[in-house]
Amino acid sequence: MKTQHQWWEVLDPFLTQHEALIAFLTFAAVVIVIYLYRPSWSVCNVPGPTAMPLVGHLPLMAKYGPDVFSVLAKQYGPIFRFQMGRQPLIIIAEAELCREVGIKKFKDLPNRSIPSPISASPLHKKGLFFTRDKRWSKMRNTILSLYQPSHLTSLIPTMYSFITSATHNLDSKPRDIVFSNLFLKLTTDIIGQAAFGVDFGLSGKKPIKDVEVTDFINQHVYSTTQLKMDLSGSLSIILGLLIPILQEPFRQVLKRIPGTMDWRVEKTNARLSGQLNEIVSKRAKEAETDSKDFLSLILKARESDPFAKNIFTSDYISAVTYEHLLAGSATTAFTLSSVLYLVSGHLDVEKRLLQEIDGFGNRDLIPTAHDLQHKFPYLDQVIKEAMRFYMVSPLVARETAKEVEIGGYLLPKGTWVWLALGVLAKDPKNFPEPEKFKPERFDPNGEEEKHRHPYAFIPFGIGPRACVGQRFALQEIKLTLLHLYRNYIFRHSLEMEIPLQLDYGIILSFKNGVKLRTIKRF
């Protein structure tokens, strides 16, 4: 029979292995906890709801959708913490603080933070929107020079031609039309001509049946709709939200497995990049020098400026050109759909809008840039109120370049600071009865407009990082609405849900589209 000492000799190696395993598991657990929670420790002094392990506050986003930040602002005040998985965001939900971040302290927060949907897509990451530091500054200065008022004025006849062609088929008997789709085709055609010098032929009287063009646009739409900011994106994007360190390794694996969403996104982006590179290469070889489209002007700037040649390499030209296609189509189509949907549900607004438009003159008269700016004040109010009601970009991303104090909180370098423009637009302090559609709230002679904070409504962003194409977009929106309301009125389709459901991504979109009944006026 073994003695007690002999038993310990037998068990000692097993105990040592067991202790080592416990030590390893303990160490691994500590590493995981540190990895998951370390980012939030540096901003734990900023108030916010208790975050769930791994997913953070994403369940709140699933529950409230885009309104989640308004809900949290009411509870925690104008600056609070929101965790996108493990990544903490400092949400700014007050107009003066937005001015502080976007303008006064721009040098401390000059770049946009790059969320997981973008980090997985070089095509999107290399555009002006997410480019950083000196490269962004040079790209911006070059691109701004392309949006001179004289150039925008010269685009009016082209824009109007596309608009009249796209709406030609509305002249038949009253019928239900998915205007969100129609507007996406129209705005893609317009920006295609302005950015690429290419007529995609999507919205004409006889749409071009070009398989390559159709394929390109389908890929463009698919690529855009996959930029999700919740748990409905691809697996690699979901991992990027939850465990960023795993995003790229899993993406490299999943993009090679046919049928996965990452595989489809990878194929789509690769084909888009290839087609864009072909367009850029072809245009660079052309001898014509009188073309005024965006791509031609970028290429000319690259050839005339040695520094620009290093900035606008082929991949960056493709990315920034595609970015213009995205920014100039999806966002503008969303706003146009919003206006028609809201006005068709408010007949008093429609009546006043029609009076202003009819008073301009003959229905065939094309307005000048001066006309658009000065002769349609109520149309301006309607557009602004629609953009407030449905803010297409409810969040604007920034990232601290060094330690900086915002709203009394010291934020370390690398902190993601996001401006909640959608919250500002629904704040009753600046917009009484925010749930109501009231264009007159933007009347420059009204008390509400006079007393509102100047940065309570900033749909195109703020400071040097604001949208460079906002004048282009507004010109296109006004011309489209003028032509439509000169000839038609619209009513909600019985097949459309009310209120409209939204998809929450890098930009907002209508989940099931906007379907309206078209009625010819004359």
Lowest-confidence pick of 20-34, 75-89, 249-263, 295-309: 20-34
Q: Does 307 score more than 80 pLDDT?
A: no
- Residues β-bridged to residue 80: 91
| Strands across the sheet containing 515-520 | 175-178, 515-520, 488-492
pLDDT in tens, 213-242: 555 555 555 555 555 555 556 677 777 777
Taking 90 as the threshold, does the pLDDT of residue 335 lie above it?
yes
List of residues 6+ apart from 318 with CB closer than 8 A: 123, 126, 273, 276, 277, 280
- 340: pLDDT strictly greater than 60: yes
Query: What span, in angstroms and rounded, lies between the C-alpha atoms of 498 and 434?
Result: 18
Q: Place 206 in a pLDDT band, splitting at 50, 70 and 90.
A: low
Is residue 119 predicted with pLDDT exceeding 90?
no
Residue 246 has pLDDT above 80, yes or no: no
Yes or no: say if 439 and 349 are a contact pair by the CB < 8 Å rule: yes
Which pLDDT does position 5 carry in this prediction?
Answer: 58
Q: Is 492 helix (H, G, I), strand (E, B) or coil?
A: strand
Q: Which domains are seen in the chain, by residue range?
A: 38-520 (1.10.630.10)
453-474 residue pLDDT tens: 999 999 999 999 999 999 999 9
The chain-wide mean pLDDT, for the chain, equals 84
Per-residue model confidence (pLDDT) at position 407: 93
pLDDT at 30: 74
- Report d(CA 483, CA 52) in Å as an integer: 51
What is the percent of the chain where pLDDT is above 90? 43
Q: Which of 17-26, 169-178, 427-436 has the highest mean pLDDT?
A: 427-436
pLDDT in tens, 37-50: 677 788 989 999 98
What b-and-e string marks burial along 313-322, b requiring 16 or more CB atoms within 10 Å of the CB? eeebbbbbbb
d(CA 298, CA 320): 10
Q: Per-residue pLDDT for 424 more than 80?
A: yes
Name which residue leads in pLDDT, 481 or 34: 481
Please tell me which residue, 376 or 167, carries the higher pLDDT value.
Answer: 376
**Whose structure tokens read 């010098």?**
197
98 marked among binding-site residues: no
Q: How far apart are CA 195 and CA 400, in angstroms?
A: 32
pLDDT at 196: 76
- Tell me the sheet residues that pair with 90: 81, 417
> What would the pLDDT profile of 59-112 be if each residue is shown by its tens digit?
888 888 778 999 999 999 999 999 988 889 999 999 999 999 999 999 999 999
Residue 314 has pLDDT above 70, yes or no: yes
- Helical (H) or strand (E) element with 397: strand 396-399
Kindly list the distances between the CA atom of residue 122 and the CA atoms of 29, 286, 293, in Å, as whole numbers in the listed order. Answer: 34, 27, 24
| pTM over the 0.95 mark | no
Q: For 179-191, what is the mean pLDDT?
A: 89
What pLDDT is recorded for position 226?
Answer: 52
Q: What is the pLDDT of residue 214?
A: 55
pLDDT at 225: 54
Which of the residue ranges 35-44, 174-183, 329-338, 448-457 would you say has the lowest mean pLDDT? 35-44
Give the pLDDT of residue 204: 64
pLDDT value, residue 216: 59
What was the pLDDT predicted at 452?
Answer: 95
Q: Is the pLDDT of residue 483 over 90?
A: yes
Which carries the bigger pLDDT value, residue 412 or residue 253?
412
> Is the CB of residue 227 less than 8 Å from the CB of residue 505?
yes
What pLDDT does residue 58 have?
84
CA dist 163 and 476 (Å) reads 9
Question: SS3 for 303-316, per residue?
Answer: HHCHHHHHHCCHHH
* Structure confidence at residue 237 (pLDDT): 72
281 versus 409: the higher-pLDDT residue is 409
Predicted pLDDT of residue 222: 53
Q: Which of 402-411, 421-430, 505-514 has the lowest mean pLDDT?
A: 505-514
Count of other CB atoms within 10 angstroms of residue 132: 14
The residue among 18, 179, 100 whose CA lies nearest residue 398 is: 100
Q: In sequence order, what are the residues at sequence separation of 6 or more whose Cβ sits closer than 8 angstroms to the Cβ of residue 181?
A: 513
pLDDT at 12 over 80: no
- φ, ψ of residue 491 in degrees (nearest 5): -135, 150
DSSP for 278-289, written as a single string: HHHHHHHH----
